[in-house]
Protein backbone atom coordinates (compact mmCIF):
# COMPACT_ATOMS: atom_id res chain seq x y z
CA UNK A 1 0.00 0.00 0.00
CA UNK A 2 2.87 2.34 0.80
CA UNK A 3 4.24 1.75 -2.70
CA UNK A 4 1.02 2.94 -4.33
CA UNK A 5 0.91 5.94 -2.03
CA UNK A 6 4.46 6.87 -3.07
CA UNK A 7 3.46 6.64 -6.74
CA UNK A 8 0.61 9.05 -6.02
CA UNK A 9 2.91 11.47 -4.17
CA UNK A 10 5.58 11.33 -6.90
CA UNK A 11 2.93 11.85 -9.59
CA UNK A 12 1.63 14.89 -7.75
CA UNK A 13 5.11 16.36 -7.28
CA UNK A 14 6.16 15.82 -10.90
CA UNK A 15 2.85 17.24 -12.15
CA UNK A 16 3.35 20.43 -10.15
CA UNK A 17 6.99 20.58 -11.25
CA UNK A 18 6.09 20.21 -14.93
CA UNK A 19 3.37 22.84 -14.59
CA UNK A 20 5.84 25.33 -13.11
CA UNK A 21 8.50 24.58 -15.73
CA UNK A 22 6.01 24.89 -18.60
CA UNK A 23 5.02 28.34 -17.32
CA UNK A 24 8.63 29.45 -17.18
CA UNK A 25 9.47 28.05 -20.61
CA UNK A 26 6.94 30.35 -22.29
CA UNK A 27 3.80 30.06 -24.37
CA UNK A 28 5.03 28.72 -27.66
CA UNK A 29 2.38 26.94 -29.66
CA UNK A 30 3.23 23.36 -30.59
CA UNK A 31 3.66 24.35 -34.25
CA UNK A 32 6.13 27.08 -33.22
CA UNK A 33 8.49 24.74 -31.37
CA UNK A 34 11.93 24.27 -32.89
CA UNK A 35 13.44 20.80 -33.06
CA UNK A 36 15.54 21.63 -30.01
CA UNK A 37 12.43 22.65 -28.02
CA UNK A 38 10.71 19.46 -29.13
CA UNK A 39 13.58 17.23 -28.00
CA UNK A 40 13.80 19.01 -24.63
CA UNK A 41 10.04 18.59 -24.08
CA UNK A 42 10.18 14.86 -24.84
CA UNK A 43 13.18 14.37 -22.52
CA UNK A 44 11.52 16.20 -19.63
CA UNK A 45 8.37 14.14 -20.11
CA UNK A 46 10.39 10.90 -20.14
CA UNK A 47 12.22 11.85 -16.93
CA UNK A 48 8.92 12.68 -15.23
CA UNK A 49 7.37 9.37 -16.31
CA UNK A 50 10.36 7.39 -15.01
CA UNK A 51 10.21 9.18 -11.65
CA UNK A 52 6.60 8.12 -11.23
CA UNK A 53 6.74 4.45 -12.25
CA UNK A 54 10.32 3.45 -11.39
CA UNK A 55 10.48 2.80 -7.65
CA UNK A 56 14.27 2.58 -7.79
CA UNK A 57 14.64 6.26 -8.75
CA UNK A 58 15.09 8.74 -5.95
CA UNK A 59 12.42 11.44 -6.48
CA UNK A 60 14.93 14.16 -5.52
CA UNK A 61 17.33 12.97 -8.24
CA UNK A 62 14.50 13.04 -10.76
CA UNK A 63 13.37 16.53 -9.76
CA UNK A 64 16.95 17.80 -10.12
CA UNK A 65 17.07 16.26 -13.60
CA UNK A 66 13.77 17.90 -14.61
CA UNK A 67 14.88 21.28 -13.26
CA UNK A 68 18.20 21.02 -15.10
CA UNK A 69 16.53 20.19 -18.41
CA UNK A 70 13.93 22.89 -17.75
CA UNK A 71 16.52 25.58 -17.04
CA UNK A 72 18.69 24.84 -20.07
CA UNK A 73 16.16 26.12 -22.65
CA UNK A 74 15.74 29.29 -20.57
CA UNK A 75 19.49 29.92 -20.54
CA UNK A 76 19.82 29.13 -24.23
CA UNK A 77 16.82 31.36 -24.97
CA UNK A 78 18.58 34.21 -23.15
CA UNK A 79 21.78 33.74 -25.16
CA UNK A 80 19.91 33.47 -28.46
CA UNK A 81 18.33 36.85 -27.74
CA UNK A 82 21.77 38.37 -27.25
CA UNK A 83 23.68 36.61 -30.03
CA UNK A 84 22.33 36.13 -33.54
CA UNK A 85 25.03 33.63 -34.53
CA UNK A 86 24.25 31.46 -31.49
CA UNK A 87 20.57 31.57 -32.41
CA UNK A 88 21.33 30.33 -35.93
CA UNK A 89 23.38 27.45 -34.53
CA UNK A 90 20.67 26.37 -32.06
CA UNK A 91 17.44 27.10 -33.95
CA UNK A 92 18.66 27.15 -37.52
CA UNK A 93 17.63 29.84 -40.01
CA UNK A 94 14.91 30.31 -42.62
CA UNK A 95 15.68 28.93 -46.07
CA UNK A 96 14.20 30.00 -49.39
CA UNK A 97 12.57 26.97 -50.98
CA UNK A 98 10.76 28.61 -53.90
CA UNK A 99 11.69 31.85 -55.65
CA UNK A 100 9.65 33.24 -58.54
CA UNK A 101 7.99 29.88 -59.08
CA UNK A 102 11.28 27.92 -59.15
CA UNK A 103 12.17 25.31 -56.54
CA UNK A 104 15.60 25.52 -54.88
CA UNK A 105 16.48 21.84 -54.72
CA UNK A 106 19.78 22.51 -52.90
CA UNK A 107 17.94 24.06 -49.96
CA UNK A 108 15.50 21.16 -49.97
CA UNK A 109 18.45 18.78 -49.72
CA UNK A 110 20.02 20.82 -46.90
CA UNK A 111 16.98 20.40 -44.71
CA UNK A 112 16.13 16.87 -45.95
CA UNK A 113 12.74 18.30 -46.89
CA UNK A 114 10.91 16.04 -49.34
CA UNK A 115 9.24 17.51 -52.39
CA UNK A 116 6.07 15.71 -51.35
CA UNK A 117 6.06 17.56 -48.02
CA UNK A 118 6.43 20.82 -49.93
CA UNK A 119 3.44 20.02 -52.13
CA UNK A 120 1.33 19.13 -49.09
CA UNK A 121 2.07 22.44 -47.36
CA UNK A 122 1.36 24.38 -50.54
CA UNK A 123 -1.99 22.64 -50.99
CA UNK A 124 -2.86 23.35 -47.35
CA UNK A 125 -2.40 27.02 -48.22
CA UNK A 126 -4.73 26.56 -51.23
CA UNK A 127 -1.88 26.80 -53.73
CA UNK A 128 -2.06 24.15 -56.45
CA UNK A 129 0.17 25.88 -58.99
CA UNK A 130 3.82 26.55 -58.03
CA UNK A 131 4.07 29.24 -60.70
CA UNK A 132 1.77 31.39 -58.53
CA UNK A 133 4.39 31.52 -55.76
CA UNK A 134 6.63 34.57 -55.55
CA UNK A 135 8.55 33.24 -52.57
CA UNK A 136 8.28 30.33 -50.14
CA UNK A 137 10.44 30.16 -47.02
CA UNK A 138 10.93 27.13 -44.80
CA UNK A 139 10.99 28.40 -41.22
CA UNK A 140 13.15 26.87 -38.43
CA UNK A 141 10.03 25.28 -36.91
CA UNK A 142 9.31 23.38 -40.14
CA UNK A 143 6.41 25.53 -41.30
CA UNK A 144 6.27 27.02 -44.77
CA UNK A 145 5.66 30.76 -45.25
CA UNK A 146 4.37 31.59 -48.72
CA UNK A 147 4.06 34.87 -50.60
CA UNK A 148 1.92 34.75 -53.72
CA UNK A 149 2.68 36.78 -56.81
CA UNK A 150 0.71 40.02 -56.78
CA UNK A 151 -1.51 39.00 -59.71
CA UNK A 152 -2.68 35.92 -57.81
CA UNK A 153 -3.44 37.60 -54.50
CA UNK A 154 -7.11 37.94 -53.52
CA UNK A 155 -8.78 41.29 -54.06
CA UNK A 156 -9.00 43.44 -50.91
CA UNK A 157 -11.44 46.24 -50.04
CA UNK A 158 -8.54 48.69 -50.53
CA UNK A 159 -8.12 47.50 -54.13
CA UNK A 160 -11.78 48.36 -54.73
CA UNK A 161 -11.55 51.68 -52.84
CA UNK A 162 -14.01 50.39 -50.23
CA UNK A 163 -13.79 51.42 -46.60
CA UNK A 164 -15.06 48.42 -44.58
CA UNK A 165 -14.64 50.18 -41.24
CA UNK A 166 -12.28 49.37 -38.43
CA UNK A 167 -11.80 45.89 -37.03
CA UNK A 168 -11.81 45.36 -33.30
CA UNK A 169 -12.06 42.80 -30.55
CA UNK A 170 -15.23 41.32 -29.16
CA UNK A 171 -15.27 41.96 -25.40
CA UNK A 172 -17.03 39.46 -23.15
CA UNK A 173 -19.49 40.98 -20.68
CA UNK A 174 -21.47 38.01 -19.35
CA UNK A 175 -20.54 34.34 -19.09
CA UNK A 176 -23.04 31.86 -17.63
CA UNK A 177 -25.02 34.60 -15.90
CA UNK A 178 -21.95 36.23 -14.34
CA UNK A 179 -21.16 39.84 -15.27
CA UNK A 180 -17.47 40.49 -16.03
CA UNK A 181 -17.14 43.83 -14.27
CA UNK A 182 -13.53 44.43 -15.29
CA UNK A 183 -14.48 44.39 -18.98
CA UNK A 184 -17.38 46.76 -18.35
CA UNK A 185 -14.94 49.17 -16.70
CA UNK A 186 -12.60 48.98 -19.70
CA UNK A 187 -15.50 50.09 -21.90
CA UNK A 188 -16.55 52.79 -19.41
CA UNK A 189 -19.96 51.15 -19.17
CA UNK A 190 -22.05 50.45 -16.08
CA UNK A 191 -23.98 47.40 -14.93
CA UNK A 192 -27.14 49.50 -15.18
CA UNK A 193 -26.47 50.08 -18.88
CA UNK A 194 -25.95 46.35 -19.42
CA UNK A 195 -29.12 45.38 -17.55
CA UNK A 196 -31.10 48.00 -19.47
CA UNK A 197 -29.84 46.54 -22.74
CA UNK A 198 -30.95 43.08 -21.64
CA UNK A 199 -34.43 44.36 -20.77
CA UNK A 200 -34.67 45.93 -24.22
CA UNK A 201 -34.09 42.43 -25.60
CA UNK A 202 -36.88 41.07 -23.36
CA UNK A 203 -34.46 39.25 -21.09
CA UNK A 204 -35.73 39.49 -17.51
CA UNK A 205 -33.30 37.19 -15.73
CA UNK A 206 -29.53 37.42 -15.74
CA UNK A 207 -29.18 33.68 -15.17
CA UNK A 208 -30.83 33.10 -18.56
CA UNK A 209 -27.82 34.64 -20.33
CA UNK A 210 -25.09 32.12 -21.17
CA UNK A 211 -22.98 34.63 -23.08
CA UNK A 212 -23.02 38.34 -23.89
CA UNK A 213 -20.36 40.43 -25.58
CA UNK A 214 -19.77 43.96 -26.83
CA UNK A 215 -19.07 43.79 -30.57
CA UNK A 216 -16.61 46.02 -32.48
CA UNK A 217 -19.54 47.70 -34.24
CA UNK A 218 -20.93 48.88 -30.89
CA UNK A 219 -23.75 46.33 -30.72
CA UNK A 220 -24.45 43.94 -27.85
CA UNK A 221 -24.52 40.24 -28.74
CA UNK A 222 -26.52 38.05 -26.35
CA UNK A 223 -26.96 34.27 -26.30
CA UNK A 224 -29.59 32.84 -23.94
CA UNK A 225 -30.51 29.38 -22.74
CA UNK A 226 -32.87 27.33 -24.83
CA UNK A 227 -36.46 26.98 -23.60
CA UNK A 228 -36.19 29.84 -21.12
CA UNK A 229 -38.70 29.72 -18.33
CA UNK A 230 -38.53 33.11 -16.62
CA UNK A 231 -40.53 31.92 -13.64
CA UNK A 232 -37.86 29.32 -12.76
CA UNK A 233 -34.88 31.69 -13.09
CA UNK A 234 -33.41 32.74 -9.79
CA UNK A 235 -31.74 36.08 -10.59
CA UNK A 236 -34.21 38.73 -11.72
CA UNK A 237 -32.83 41.94 -13.24
CA UNK A 238 -33.19 44.81 -10.82
Using alpha carbons, select from 61, 59, 67, 52 the residue that is nearest to residue 17. 67
H or E element at residue 190: none
**pTM for this predicted structure:** 0.54
Q: pLDDT at position 117, please?
A: 86
3-state class (DSSP) for residue 63: helix
Whether pLDDT at 238 is above 70? no
Same domain, 202 and 142: no
Same domain, 20 and 68: yes
What proportion of the chain, given as a percentage, has pLDDT over 90? 20
Residues 6+ apart with CB under 8 A from 79: 86
Q: Over the stretch 15-69, which tens digit does the pLDDT of each residue have?
A: 877 777 777 665 554 555 666 777 777 888 888 888 887 777 777 777 788 888 8
For 38-42, 133-137, 193-197, 200-204, which range has the lowest pLDDT when averaged over its residues?
A: 38-42
3-state class (DSSP) for residue 101: coil
For 102-106, 164-168, 183-187, which range has the lowest pLDDT when averaged over its residues?
A: 164-168
Last residue of a domain, one of 55, 88, 121: 88
Same domain, 6 and 81: yes
Strand partners, 237: none
Using alpha carbons, select from 68, 74, 60, 63 the residue that is nearest to residue 28. 74
List the domain range (segments joined by +) for residue 144.
Answer: 95-152
Structural domains counted in the chain: 3
What proportion of the chain, given as a percentage, has pLDDT over 70? 86
Q: Give the whole-angstrom CA distance, residue 73 versus residue 51.
A: 21
Q: Is residue 117 part of a domain?
A: yes
Same domain, 84 and 100: no
Q: pLDDT at position 27, please?
A: 55
Residues 6+ apart with CB under 8 A from 9: none
Q: pLDDT at position 231, please?
A: 39
Structure letter (DSSP) for residue 234: S
220 and 212 Cβ atoms separated by less than 8 Å: yes
Last residue of a domain, one of 40, 63, 88: 88
Strand order in the sheet with 144-148: 102-103, 95-99, 133-138, 144-148
* DSSP per-residue codes, 106-174: HHHHHTT--HHHHHHHHHHTT---GGGEEEEEE-TTS-EEEEE-GGGSPP-TTTTT---------EEEE
Q: Give the whole-angstrom CA distance, residue 222 versus residue 237.
A: 15
Whether pLDDT at 134 is above 60? yes
For 33-37, 203-207, 222-226, 233-237, which range has the lowest pLDDT when averaged over its residues?
A: 233-237
Last residue of a domain, one of 118, 152, 186: 152
Q: Is residue 237 part of a domain?
A: no
Using alpha carbons, select from 175, 220, 173, 177 the residue that is nearest to residue 201. 220
Whether pLDDT at 165 is above 70? no
Sign of the torsion formed by the C-alpha atoms of 43, 8, 60 and 55 = negative
Instruction: Quickly state the pLDDT bin for 209 (edges 50, 70, 90).
Output: very high
Q: pLDDT at position 233, please?
A: 38
**What CATH number should be reported for the domain holding residue 182?**
3.30.240.20
Mean pLDDT, the chain, rounded, equals 80
Q: Give the whole-angstrom CA distance, residue 68 versus residue 138.
A: 31
Q: pLDDT at position 234, please?
A: 39
Using alpha carbons, select from 173, 180, 161, 171 the residue that is nearest to residue 217. 171
Residue predicted with more confidence, 100 or 164? 100
Amino acid sequence: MNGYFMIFIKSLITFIGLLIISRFMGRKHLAELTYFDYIVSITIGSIAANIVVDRGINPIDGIIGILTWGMMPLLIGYFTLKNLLFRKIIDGEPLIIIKDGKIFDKNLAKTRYHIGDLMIQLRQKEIFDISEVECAILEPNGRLSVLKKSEFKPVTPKDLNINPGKNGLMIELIINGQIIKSNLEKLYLSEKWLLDQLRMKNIRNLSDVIFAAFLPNGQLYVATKNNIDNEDSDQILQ
